[in-house]
Structure 1
Amino acid sequence: MQAIKRPYFWHAIYTRSRAEKRLHQELCSKDIECYLPLQKELRQWSDRTKWVEEPLLRSYLFVKVSEREYYNVINSVFAVRYVTFGGKAVPIPEQQIEALRLFLEDKNRKVDLCSDHLEKGELVEVVAGPLKGIQGEITQIKGKNRIVIRFDSLGTCVYTDISLDTIKQVQPVTH
């Protein structure tokens, strides 16, 4: 009898407060593919300064699961619920997760988060540099050209500076 191949989709899961790393560790130990976007920050205490890795998106973790693993993830002590719309977990496109990984891989690039309502900008693709291949929206934030990845299901955008000579306009896909 041949095993049934189930489709896997990325979903955002809402975690308990400050439990993102613990949930990530637990799910990895269960061989569940997950992604916790981390960013290094310089923290100052009264007696020392130290670089620490902090979650970019507080209280969120991304998991790539099939229907079979879907409930296994939510049964974790550190998981609260999936990010849902209309009672169903919202799938996140693979290319958004990959673009987020590329944003954070470039240690010289400052990545910011904003939950302000940004007007949809022109759809572009990066054609040169470390972000080559990423598609996003071009917009101006604080007077600088930025490329934005919009996570509508989370109500947030991730953005970073981009040079206009490294992008080209792409036509949106119509269904």
Structure 2
Amino acid sequence: MIDQNYKWYPVYTHSRAEKKANEELNRKGIQTYLPLKKVVKQWSDRKKIVEEPLIKSYLFAYISAREYAEVLMTNGVARFIYFSNKVASIPDQQIHDLKLLLATDSDLEIMDYEIKPGESVLIKAGPFKGIIAELVAVQNKQRIILRLQNMGYSININTSVAFVEPF
């Protein structure tokens, strides 16, 4: 049976302190979830697969309201995330869905911005790198349609939305 007083709360951590804060909260007996993704890191002498947080400076704590202070007094924790002047909570199903997504080993991309049709974008990777264009439409996460400025036509580019950023 799930205790109705306990919910998942997004916790904002200090920069690069997600794993440390997660360990500290677990040591205090607080259930947490830190979504991690595998990334290949290149050094001058070797490559290594490391786990990095999926969402920078975020982890999730499964607590009741009476444990807020205990979480905030944990090394690495900066604050809770607020929405409409209340501490935000995440439905259990969304945490479950996030765990399932990460278990599929698919290549997830998290962007901290939203680009809407009509906005100018800078293409930051691929053969069109460095070109500024207008976003016409996003057909799915892989295919975007861009209008090149001053050329009067649209071009379909089969690339990830992650390869463009607001300009």
Q: Bin the TM-score by the shorter chain.
A: 0.5 to 0.7
Match of 1:55 in 2: 53
Match of 1:141 in 2: 141
1:6 deviates by 6.2
Match of 2:108 in 1: 111
Residues 74-117 of structure 1: CA deviation (Å, up to 9, x unaligned): 1112110000123321111111111110011122x111112332
1:30-69 to structure 2, matched below 5 A, reads: 30-69=28-67
Counterpart of 2:78 in 1: which secondary structure?
strand
**For structure 1, which runs of at least 5 residues remain unmatched after alignment?**
120-138, 145-175
Aligned equivalents of 1:115, 1:15: Cα separation in 2: 16
**For structure 2, which runs of at least 5 residues remain unmatched after alignment?**
117-138, 145-167
Aligned equivalents of 1:52, 1:71: Cα separation in 2: 32
The number of aligned residues is 121
Counterpart of 1:113 in 2: which secondary structure?
coil
1:118 deviates by 6.5
Match of 1:84 in 2: 82
The alignment's TM-score, normalised by the length of structure 1, stands at 0.64
The alignment's TM-score, normalised by the length of structure 2, stands at 0.67
Counterpart of 1:46 in 2: which secondary structure?
coil
- Quick check: 1:6–1:67 contact (8 Å CA) kept in 2? no
Residues 34-76 of structure 1: CA deviation (Å, up to 9, x unaligned): 1000001010011111000000000011111101212110111
The list of structure 1 runs, each at least 4 consecutive aligned residues, that deviate by more than 2 angstroms after superposition, is 114-119
- Quick check: 1:19–1:78 contact (8 Å CA) kept in 2? yes
How well do the aligned residues superpose, as a CA RMSD in angstroms? 2.0
Which letter does structure 2 place at the counterpart of 1:52? V
Residues 10 and 118 (structure 1), Cα distance of their counterparts in 2 relative to 1, 3 Å cut: farther
- Quick check: 1:13–1:82 contact (8 Å CA) kept in 2? yes
Sequence identity (%): 41
Aligned equivalents of 1:68, 1:92: Cα separation in 2: 17
Aligned equivalents of 2:111, 2:17: Cα separation in 1: 22
- Quick check: 2:24–2:75 contact (8 Å CA) kept in 1? no
Which letter does structure 1 place at the counterpart of 2:35? P
